[in-house]
Amino acid sequence: MKTLVVFDFDHTIVDDNSDTWVIRSTPDQTLPAWLEKSYERGRWTEYMGRVLTYIGDQSVSPDHMRAVMESIPFTEGMIELLTFISENKNDIDCIIISDSNTVFIDWVLHASGLKSAIDDVFTNPANIDARGYMSVRCFHAHDCTQCPINLCKRRVLHDFRENQAKADVHYERICYIGDGGNDFCPIKELREGDIAMPRKGFTLEKLLCKAISEGPEAFRAKIIPWTSGNEILQELRALIE
């Protein structure tokens, strides 16, 4: 049986937030105060829709936006890690579950030449219309009270595993790699033998430390914090060998 590797995208594969990185494509590389103040907690995707409309209003072309997005830095060791995964597809399936969007992730992976490492991407659907304006929609509706309204990563992971099982694809283990608050919920979906890998010093690690101190039995997965993709690569190599 294969290992399933699940990645977050922002501050995990790339070392920044793709949704704020795109602001560099605007003429002033900033957003007006009225737009920044329009954000409502838990409704980031709707806010990003307004940001992308504003970028279109500034006559920023999709080509320029793409060039800016392709300059986002990868987290240290992630190029090597994704290369390793792409070379070991007989042993590893790999998906991304992200609060970014399909266009940004596709641009970044395509530019890096590492798209072959990723089997599927679950994120907010985006497209560019005939005017050159980009728009983004919520990934799905769900009833989880802990997650943003547009995406519950636990539900995505649960559904993916169920659908794979129906196709007679079963995983020996799942390795979940993330950094943020919205990566906490899917880690509860992990079972004994699975591995949760929070980025050191980021929100997910802090949430896990707090939860474990209050009741360690809540998590069945082994928890291994990381600082670079090379550390994850070493763990993954040991698992499949």
The catalytic site residues sit at 8, 10
Q: How many CA atoms lie within 13 A of 92 on its CB side?
A: 27
Q: What angle do CA 94, 98, 102 make, to 5 degrees?
A: 90
Question: Which residue in the block uniquely carries the two structure tokens 């980025």?
Answer: 199
Residue list for the binding site for Mg(2+)? 8, 10, 179
Helix (H, G, I), strand (E, B) or coil at 218: helix
Distance CA 157, CA 163 (A): 10
Going by the annotation, the residues of the binding site are: 8, 10, 19, 99, 179
Nearest to 65 by CA among 125, 117, 23: 23
Residue 204 identity: L
Q: Check: CB of residue 22 under 8 Å from CB of residue 16.
A: no
Burial group, residue 38, by CB count within 10 angstroms (0-12, 13-18, 19+): middle
